[in-house]
Amino acid sequence: MRVTIFGATGLLGKALMREWRGDEVVGLGSKDVDIRSQDQVAETIRLHRPEWTVLAAAYTDVDGCESHSQLAFDVNTHGAANVAKACAQGNVRFLFLSTDYVFDGTKRTPYEIDDPISPQTVYGKSKAAAEAEIRQAHLEFCILRTSWVFGVGGKCFPDTILKLAATRAQLDVVSDQRGSPTYTVDLARTIMQLSRKDARGIVHATNRGNCTWFDFATEIVAGAQLTTRVRPTSSDKFVRPAKRPEYSVLSSRSLEQYGIELPTWQDALGRYLAERGLPTTR
């Protein structure tokens, strides 16, 4: 199978390039092709003639999107539409990475794929608009929503916590936001499986289980055998440009229909710490 990955130099893209085996994979970064250019995208699809295209490229700075909304929509919405249209014209199946931020966070049970979306941030709105564009442009698509992505090779929550814990005796982390951490290695393997299973429609994929950011930080510090004290606090003590959903746990039901089950987030975190070469308790 021939696969083209847009966003191959990003956090998830790097994992996709490392993990994808047994197929002919071409990875492209922003220096190779600007997804905001319909002509560049169309030419790329014509050149590589993929059977599957994975769009992992995105403007993912959630707070940055609030002050750079035009860039957010140019990359996340119009860029996705360009790739979807080029794939439709070339009869190429298309997998798009979306987000838990398309939901408003008011639910208290895991979000299903057919729950109403109501994004509360520019980032979420740009991704929701992309989903709509893809539905109009392409029939053979898979929209994969995920959350709290972390991995080696880029900025992510565990990386931030480890750096802060190296210099501070105490960290305050919010305990009133709940979601599911997702390891790029497991997500990359899931994308590979979904492509080989010819997945269609919307799928939710995260590591199993859920936690608060406080729980996550506590596990990171303990797993890395650090002595920093982690204290719970509330979101109103850490006001940020983009409002975070209080609850954004995604149901695994749609993924299980393809016979795929991800490891727990605790297991994933242990492997992440080991991948970083840290002595761990796991």
Instruction: Output phi, psi for 197, to 5 deg.
Output: -90, 5
Q: Looking at this protein, which amino acid is placed at residue 168?
A: R
Q: Looking at this protein, which amino acid is placed at residue 251?
A: S
Q: Which helix (H) or strand (E) holds 272?
A: helix 265-275
- Decide if 247 is catalytic: no
Which residues are CB-neighbours of 165 under 8 A, at least 6 positions away?
171, 220, 221, 224, 226, 228
| Set 123, 183, 247, 272: catalytic member | 123
Q: State the burial class of residue 208 (Cβ atoms within 10 Å of its Cβ: 0-12, 13-18, 19+).
A: middle
Beta strands in 17-136 (DSSP E): 24-28, 52-55, 93-99
The residues that are catalytic are 123
